[in-house]
Amino acid sequence: MKKGLTTGRGAASSVSRRTLLQAGLGVAGLAVTGGIALPRPAIAQAAGFDWKRFKGQHIEVLMAKGPRGDLLQKYRKEFEELTGITVGDEQVPEQQQRQKTAIEFNSGNTSFDVLMIPYHVQKKMFGKNKWMEDLRPYLADAKLTAPDYDVGDFAKGAIDYATQADGRLDSIPINLDYFILYYNKEIFAQKGVAYPKNFDEMTAAAEKLNDPKAGVSGFVLRGIKNANVVVWTDLMLGWNRDPISKDGALPEDADAVAAATLYKKLITSYGPQGSVQFNWNECQSLFALGKAAMWIDGIGFALPLEDKAKSKIVGKVGYGVMPMGPKANHSALFGDGMAVSAFTKKKEAAWLYVQWATNKTMQARNLTGGYGSPGRNSSFEMAKTATDLKAPREWVDCMSGSIKIARPGLPEIVGVTEFRDIYGIALTNMIQGGDPAAELKKASEQFKPILAKTEAG
């Protein structure tokens, strides 16, 4: 294996626990000092900045289908009126959007000018090929960046997460996703169980709350290959173990096996039957029906869980920061950014869109509207006094708590999909009876040559 392999914690390219901790402290610090100026609901024309410089141009935006896409589409007109630039925005299902961007970039001619990029999947691949425009010159140009944009308002950890290994900032974070522990307060109260402080208590709670006869599972977790890997790596961070360690070691050591064993136990002993094929949507359905006591997943499910039309547990959902693991307390971090295609001829107009999509107002809307978790400190400050929060305040508090312990949940490598696929199959084999140590060893043997090949050059 190549020495010095980036795992998501190296040099300038990646985000570390420390930088995210700093980000969290930044948020906390702002609370103490009274915070920064709050953005207004509408975007003001900053004095001297000409938003209409590229009036009459048309840009295409390609986004993954999801809440952030909904948010951007909802306020699209605002951007069009502000700049005179017309926007064609398209939301494509996540997997297909990733395929489309990669294939079009490879062809050297993209149909989109702006794209949404998942850091945990494509950051390194796109960065290595310089497929996205370096935004630092744009940020430094007073004619292209509004004075109130304030890139310094982004949490340091968020900017570090977006920054490439060579120091290029080729995207701006629009959403950061932390893994949290959802729990059903009613089921916990009925059996007199307290929120678990560590993994042992979490397992004990699952055992106590698991009641198959009543149709209630102690836990519900993703089991389907590929999607299941992030749950395992989230648990593995509790052993202070990155998915691929700083020295390039693959996850087959005692800590990785211990995390896989816990994952297997939670699913097979306390999970519903058929969990092996569950993705987040099946988990969400059962949890929202009150058929599961706990669920570990991304933080972005508050809106459907608090929607009476989709959930039977409105007002009963607890949002908990990941409990302490045997060696550390971490929450797996994932995220998306907005970027400008290096192949577009309308780079400046595209940058104006990225700037608008990630400005203080839009990031605050992301949080207060329950669309997701922003990267700007000011968004959290605004949420403190906001009276129109769509999601419970406990959810925002959980987000603030998770930021402080967040750490990348997937390795920063080109072959992330292969990593998820191969180890994902190993996890499904475990659920169906396989031995964790043997399955992880086999998966590592399969993945080692792929890693060497994809990281070469």
In this chain, which stretch among 46-54, 64-72, 99-107, 374-382 interacts with another protein, using CB under 8 A? 99-107
Query: Quick check: 418 binds another protein (CB under 8 A)?
Result: yes
At 344, which amino acid appears? Answer: T
- Beta carbons of 185 and 175 less than 8 angstroms apart: no
Helices (H), 84-193: 94-107, 119-128, 136-140, 156-162, 185-190
Give the C-alpha separation, 281 to 305, whole Å: 12
Q: Which run of H or E residues covers position 396?
A: helix 393-405
| H/E element, 408 | strand 406-408
Among 168, 291, 346, 404, binds another protein (CB under 8 A): 291
Fill in the per-residue mask, 227 to 266: x = in contact with another protein (CB under 8 A), - = not in contact.
Answer: ----------------------------------------
Q: Does 190 contact another protein by CB under 8 A?
A: no
Contact call for residue 342 and another protein (CB under 8 A)? no
To 10 degrees, the CA torsion angle through 92, 278, 227, 445? -140
- Under the binding rule (CB under 8 A), the answer on residue 411 touching another protein is no
By CB under 8 A, name the one of 73, 261, 268, 285 that touches another protein.
285
> Does 129 sit near another protein (CB under 8 A)?
yes
Rounded CA gap, 51 and 86, in Å?
Answer: 13
Please, which residue, 341 or 355, has the CB nearer to another protein? 341
**Strand pairing category for 292-298 and 217-220:** parallel
Q: What angle do CA 285, 289, 294 make, to 5 degrees?
A: 80
Q: Is 210 in the site for another protein (CB under 8 A)?
A: no
Quickly list DSSP for 171-215: -EEEEEEEEEEEEEHHHHHHTTPPPPSBHHHHHHHHHHH-BGGGT
How far apart CA 80 and CA 55 sit, in angstroms, is: 9
The residue type found at 209 is L
Q: Is residue 454 involved in binding another protein (CB under 8 A)?
A: yes
Encoded one letter per residue, x for contact with another protein by CB under 8 A and - for no contact, window 134-173 reads ----------------------------------------
102 binds another protein (CB under 8 A): yes
Single-letter amino acid code for the residue at 317: V
Q: Are 119 and 127 in contact (CB under 8 A)?
A: no
Output 95 or 190, the one with its CB closest to another protein.
95
99 part of the interface to another protein, by CB under 8 A: yes
Give the span between the Cα atoms of 449 and 246, in whole angstroms.
Answer: 18
- CB 121, min distance to another protein, A: 10
> Residue from 120, 225, 264, 347 that binds another protein (CB under 8 A)?
225
The one among 45, 109, 190, 432 contacting another protein by CB under 8 A: 432
Closer to another protein by Cβ: residue 138 or 447: 447
Nearer to another protein, 207 or 282 (CB): 282
State which of residues 141, 277, 307, 393 lies at the interface with another protein (CB under 8 A): 277
Residue 109 touches another protein, criterion: CB under 8 A: no
User: Using CB under 8 A, which of 5, 43, 72, 125 touches another protein?
Assistant: 125
In 185-298, at which residue ranges do the beta strands (DSSP E only) sit? Answer: 217-220, 292-298
**Least distance from C-beta 262 to another protein, angstroms?**
20
Contacts with another protein: how many residues (CB under 8 A)? 37
CA R_g for the chain: 22
Quote the least distance from Cβ 99 to another protein, whole Å: 5
Pick from 267, 266, 258: which is nearest to 238 by CA? 258
Whole-number Å distance between alpha carbons of 209 and 191: 7
Among 21, 36, 224, 328, binds another protein (CB under 8 A): 224
Q: Binder to another protein among 215, 247, 312, 445 (CB under 8 A)?
A: 215
Q: Which residues bind another protein (CB under 8 A)?
A: 95, 99, 102-103, 105-106, 125, 128-129, 215, 223-226, 272-277, 282, 285-286, 289, 291, 414-415, 417-418, 421, 425, 428-429, 431-432, 454, 457
